Structure 1
Amino acid sequence: MLRALFTSLFLATAASAAQPPNIVFIFCDDLAYQAMSCYGDHRKLLETPNMDRLAKEGMRFDRCLVTNSICGPSRAVIQTGKYSHANGFYNNSNSKFDSSQPTFPKVMHEKGYQMAMIGKWHLMTDPVGYDYWNVLPGQGVYYNPPMIDNGKPVKYDGYTTDIIGDLTLDWLQKRDKTKPFMMMCQHKAPHREWEPPSRYLGFDKDRVYEEPETLFDSYSGRSKAVSDHDMGIDRTMTDRDTKLVAPNNLTPEQKKAWDAYYEPRNAKYREAAPAGRDLVKWRYQRYMHDYLACVKAVDDNVGRVLDYLDKEGLTENTVVMLSSDQGFYLGEHGWFDKRWIFEESLRTPFLVRWPGVIKPGTVNNKIVSLIDFASTFLDIAQCPNLPDVHGRSLVPLFKGEEPADWRKSLYYHYYEYPVPHRVRPHYGVITDRYKLIHYYKPDVDDWELMDREKDPLETKSFYNDPAYAETVKELKAEILRLQAEVKETMPPPRFTHGNKAFDGEVNPPVQEQPKGKGAGKKKGAAKKAE
């Protein structure tokens, strides 16, 4: 009997060793790299020890870029490995994910992986390809959230970030331990309206945060598309955003803690009645407290997952990846939110730990993207890739290799307009140094050229500078090449630069985005689309 037991244990150990790696994918909503201490923002906004642990024990990517800086589209990109125009999910206003198309979870599930999706889904259809899913409806709420547990409506008491952490650990404990798994733990935080957990109200002891250099950006010399926005701390933040109004779904105990922190401070605000620049400064400080407190709660729950993997002996055979659907503005250019091709919203954090494969403490500066994640998951899982994907596996980069044919540029396209933030549709190309951008409708037809080497804060366009004429020509040609590569058709670019004209008659007519039930909504649509 004892011999049989040892034989059984040996076989189980051998099977485990032969298994492809497990994958834990921790995905946040609107997580700014500036808020993570491992990215070293000069403002030193927050310490994130658990996220930092992933960077120290794995690889930090410094140029992970998105292809359409908005929540739902980024999630669709990850599921499919395809740009928005190819997967059909363009925006948060009137898009619905086509779950019949090929996705990475379907392939991994078919090949024997246990697949779980917990937290924010935001694709307007039920998850497909998962053994277990428990997701927030729509955007979800920060306190006492309703959720959908494999199709069944449920409701939880507590703080949503912690609840997602609880559900993640519960599934990991109950999973079939004979199979490899992929856990997609997807947090709502730190999405607007940045409602902190009770334990972190006042965590910063009323610290005065350093303001970004461009908090009062004048947008001088820039396109109307940049100046005529509706996502400014000055013009867009509401009383709900700044906690002058409390959430309406708090329990009495939660409301008591909330009021104990906010009400004395709100009384001082009302007495001072700041206006103009003083109002922007006050809102910025309130924003930083609230946003960063939400990030602290996420960091706590990252730590809980890492501790569980250590305790259960899973660390060595589990790839842990942490990222976000896009970056976020923490006051830069006077903004919050995302959407733009500019750095703070284009660049998303990305950390990966894979013991035995990734050298600890590595920093990678290659241009990578969420478009690469599906192929990467499948490669790690030793599964065939999806057909016609636009991304490629990052596994060679994880191994420290530098493929000679790695991309030197990335195509970007944002579509949603006019709600909720009046950011004009635009497309463009990003290289290590430049961004060439075309704002193409409905009331603008402008180009801008950013030179991050000369203007890292991205406050100036060099498009009309004669010294950049050849650069503009080359980048416009690169846009055409990339559009052809991903099979997106747009109007031919207006190939002019000062008095010099270039041939642009090489592209077919515009491909209009699909019109759904939400098209044409006005009042109330902004809130839903956030």
Structure 2
Amino acid sequence: MKVNIKNELLALVTVLFLQPAFAQSLKASKQRPNIVYIMSDDHAYQAISAYGHGLNSTPNIDRLAKEGVLFTRASVTNSLCAPSRAVLLTGKHSFINGKVDNEARFDWNQDNFAKALQQHGYQTALIGKIHMDGLPQGFDHSAVLIDQGEYYNPNFIINGTKQQLNGYVTDLTTDMAIDWIKNRDQGKPFCLLFHQKAPHREWLPAVRHLAEYTKMKFPEPKTLFDDFKNRGTAAKTAEMNILKNMNWAGDNKVPPAMMDELGLKGFMSWDKTAYNNMLGRMTTQEREAWDKVYNPIMEDFKSKYPSMSQEELMRWRYQRYMQDYLGTVAAVDEGVGRMLDFLKENGLDENTIVVYTSDQGFYLGEHGWFDKRFMYEESLRTPLLLRYPAEIKGGRTSEALVQNLDFAPTLLDYANVAIPPDMQGKSFRKLASGKDENWRDAIYYTYYEYPGIHAVKRHYGVRTDRYKLIHFYYDVDEWELYDLEKDPQELNNVYQDPKYKDVRARMHKKLEQLRKEYKDSTVNDKSFLPKKPKV
């Protein structure tokens, strides 16, 4: 056999030349990704500029959309802070993991995805807000806020020890998150849960954002003066109206002494106390900066208040709400930018999954409301952006019906860790990269905290790509059906409309199917009876 020496030598040289690169490529393919999961509290998708609502600018969060995938129909299973976090950790609905409302205890002894990652060689950390009692389990390091936390000079529980830190909470949480990555065990992949307090009530922007945001005027939602004409009892009796149910001092920052002078009454008993406690945490320098900006605003309000109509008051309160709320979002966006820059500067960006989301949606004046809890869109939907250059092509958008129920199995999937069979969510890893069209056609929702703050009645329901069916129960028995294609603002309940008879039947069938699939029998379960509400 004739051998071509020239070709054989060329092949040998090629193999020797490419061997290091091939080995490095093989190593990279076997290297498990790092995970940075960023979750803010009550951050409405409307307040992220990548979603196109034009309220504010979030250039750093938007980077995740440009470099990854943005989900437009991501939602939660229970629109409430602590239950949402329990669902994130366990991959199970509230009625399975036990954290049905903010009052119920969370059992840290149950499995969660962080424990699974630990057991498979990941170094794990939880930094920021968790809003659940007990020392977090599944984390090598934890630095968590107490309850709701404070904006200025907050208290943290750091690995079981209480410490007060000087500074603004969003900046401090970001500092600790970056420092932990710097000082981690570099021989292990890592998973960091990086949870911001902002933009949770009561909204206190950082000093650097006060002057800018208090001068802004924001567009009003079309439903700011909603009369709920074609809705049921639940929407009409909820206590989250900006004009009627928002606190004057804690929320709108009217000083307690001025409230007394003008005869204003706080809706919640803690109104003045919240104001005094929050501002009382400030240093002398911080308080001087605050008063320099807010005192003129309040003096102007004081001069105008006696002649203001109810409509003018609503508009004033809406602007005050947006100025403070979006002012706190500005620092969150800066923190995301700092994290992304740090990962890139340290060569971690290519092999690190970065998720940005919120624990639920939030009302920014739609239907005249603030807060969340309802299964209506602004509360149900949550922002979700995901960046992972190794698998996801930038600039993608997905309308898939993903939920916070899916975070735990998805992150385990990326880490190549087996997903426990009792997790109720599904991995959307393939979906994120555009490879999986076989996804759920409906999502299931529950809400239990009634009687309670904001008086949102208990309900459960199902949402498909076009329709939504909700059952309000416990002290009422009312059904609502919405055609989201024709009525995206959910202003017209068509449950009794004969034209929707077939749709109603299909939605009822789907609802019962999901209740069985997820093993929900809580409607008639006496263990879910309400506890005495806090005063």
Q: TM-score, normalised by structure 2?
A: 0.89
Q: Which residue of 1 aligns with 2:332?
A: 298
Amino acid at match of 2:63: R
Q: Which residue of 1 aligns with 2:359?
A: 325
Are 1:70 and 2:80 counterparts? Answer: yes
Q: Which residue of 2 aligns with 1:312?
A: 346
Query: Which residue of 233, 244, 259 corresponds with 1:235?
Result: 244
Deviation at residue 399 of structure 1 after TM alignment:
2.4
Q: Which residue of 1 aligns with 2:426?
A: 392
Query: Which residue of 351, 357, 376 corresponds with 1:342?
Result: 376
Are 1:140 and 2:149 counterparts? Answer: yes
Q: Which residue of 1 aligns with 2:268?
A: none
The 8 Å contact of residues 104 and 386 in structure 1, kept in 2 or not, is answered as no
Cα deviation code 1:185-235 (max 9, x no counterpart)? 000000001110000002146222110000000000311111101111011
Are 1:22 and 2:34 counterparts? Answer: yes
- Alignment partners' CA distance in 2, 1:147 and 1:387: 35
Amino acid at match of 1:423: V
* Correspondence list, 1:30-45, <5 A: 30-41=42-53, 44-45=54-55
> RMSD value over aligned CA atoms?
1.8
Cα deviation code 1:443-490 (max 9, x no counterpart)? x11111111111111111011111111111111111110000000115
- Alignment partners' CA distance in 1, 2:522 and 2:130: 30
Q: Which residue of 2 aligns with 1:478?
A: 510
- Alignment partners' CA distance in 1, 2:132 and 2:503: 38
Q: Which residue of 2 aligns with 1:504?
A: none
Amino acid at match of 1:69: S
Cα deviation code 1:331-366 (max 9, x no counterpart)? 000000000101101000000000020011000011
Q: Which residue of 1 aligns with 2:451?
A: 418
The 8 Å contact of residues 103 and 386 in structure 1, kept in 2 or not, is answered as no
Q: Which residue of 1 aligns with 2:500?
A: 468
The 8 Å contact of residues 468 and 481 in structure 2, kept in 1 or not, is answered as yes
Q: 1:14 to 1:170 in 2, by over 3 A?
A: farther
DSSP 3-state at the match of 1:147: strand
Cα deviation code 1:465-520 (max 9, x no counterpart)? 111111111111111100000001156xxxxxxxxxxxxxxxxxx1244479xx21
The 8 Å contact of residues 16 and 178 in structure 1, kept in 2 or not, is answered as no
- Alignment partners' CA distance in 1, 2:156 and 2:477: 43
Q: Which residue of 1 aligns with 2:10?
A: none
Q: Which residue of 2 aligns with 1:496?
A: none
Q: Which residue of 1 aligns with 2:59?
A: 49
The 8 Å contact of residues 116 and 417 in structure 2, kept in 1 or not, is answered as yes
- Alignment partners' CA distance in 2, 1:352 and 1:171: 21
Q: Which residue of 2 aligns with 1:253?
A: 285
Deviation at residue 13 of structure 1 after TM alignment:
9.8
DSSP 3-state at the match of 1:421: helix
Deviation at residue 14 of structure 1 after TM alignment:
7.6
Amino acid at match of 1:249: R
Q: Which runs of 5+ in 2 are unaligned?
A: 1-21, 256-274
Q: Which residue of 2 aligns with 1:111?
A: 120
- Alignment partners' CA distance in 2, 1:454 and 1:12: 54
Cα deviation code 1:155-195 (max 9, x no counterpart)? 10110000000101110110011110001100000000111
Q: Which residue of 2 aligns with 1:434?
A: 467
- Alignment partners' CA distance in 2, 1:511 and 1:350: 33
DSSP 3-state at the match of 1:203: helix
DSSP 3-state at the match of 1:368: coil
Q: 1:311 to 1:17 in 2, by over 3 A?
A: farther
The 8 Å contact of residues 90 and 113 in structure 2, kept in 1 or not, is answered as yes
Q: Which residue of 1 aligns with 2:482?
A: 450
The 8 Å contact of residues 114 and 180 in structure 1, kept in 2 or not, is answered as yes
Deviation at residue 88 of structure 1 after TM alignment:
0.2
- Alignment partners' CA distance in 2, 1:427 and 1:513: 17
Q: Which residue of 2 aligns with 1:499?
A: none
The 8 Å contact of residues 43 and 361 in structure 2, kept in 1 or not, is answered as yes
Q: Percent identity over the alignment?
A: 46
Q: How many residues align?
A: 491
Are 1:168 and 2:200 counterparts? Answer: no
Amino acid at match of 2:486: K
The 8 Å contact of residues 77 and 403 in structure 2, kept in 1 or not, is answered as yes
Cα deviation code 1:415-445 (max 9, x no counterpart)? 1012210000001100111111110022x11
The 8 Å contact of residues 42 and 362 in structure 2, kept in 1 or not, is answered as yes
Q: Which residue of 1 aligns with 2:525?
A: 511
Q: 1:17 to 1:479 in 2, by over 3 A?
A: closer
- Alignment partners' CA distance in 1, 2:164 and 2:533: 29
Deviation at residue 75 of structure 1 after TM alignment:
0.2
Q: 1:79 to 1:198 in 2, by over 3 A?
A: same
Q: Which residue of 2 aligns with 1:80?
A: 90
- Alignment partners' CA distance in 2, 1:272 and 1:82: 51
Cα deviation code 1:358-415 (max 9, x no counterpart)? 01100001100000000001001110112311111011112211333x1000111101
Are 1:269 and 2:301 counterparts? Answer: yes
- Alignment partners' CA distance in 2, 1:256 and 1:16: 53
- Alignment partners' CA distance in 2, 1:237 and 1:30: 16
Mark the structure with the bigger radius of gyration: 2
Amino acid at match of 2:383: P
- Alignment partners' CA distance in 2, 1:522 and 1:49: 40
DSSP 3-state at the match of 2:211: coil
- Alignment partners' CA distance in 2, 1:156 and 1:422: 35
Q: Which residue of 1 aligns with 2:313?
A: 279
Q: 1:33 to 1:445 in 2, by over 3 A?
A: same
Q: Which residue of 1 aligns with 2:4?
A: none
Q: TM-score, normalised by structure 1?
A: 0.90
Q: Which residue of 1 aligns with 2:192?
A: 183
Q: Which runs of 4+ in 1 moved over 4 A?
A: 10-17, 513-516
More helix by share: 2
Are 1:91 and 2:101 counterparts? Answer: yes
Are 1:222 and 2:231 counterparts? Answer: yes
- Alignment partners' CA distance in 1, 2:143 and 2:522: 38
Deviation at residue 101 of structure 1 after TM alignment:
1.2
The 8 Å contact of residues 77 and 84 in structure 2, kept in 1 or not, is answered as yes
Q: Which residue of 2 aligns with 1:500?
A: none
Q: Which residue of 1 aligns with 2:7?
A: none
Amino acid at match of 1:437: I
Deviation at residue 313 of structure 1 after TM alignment:
0.3
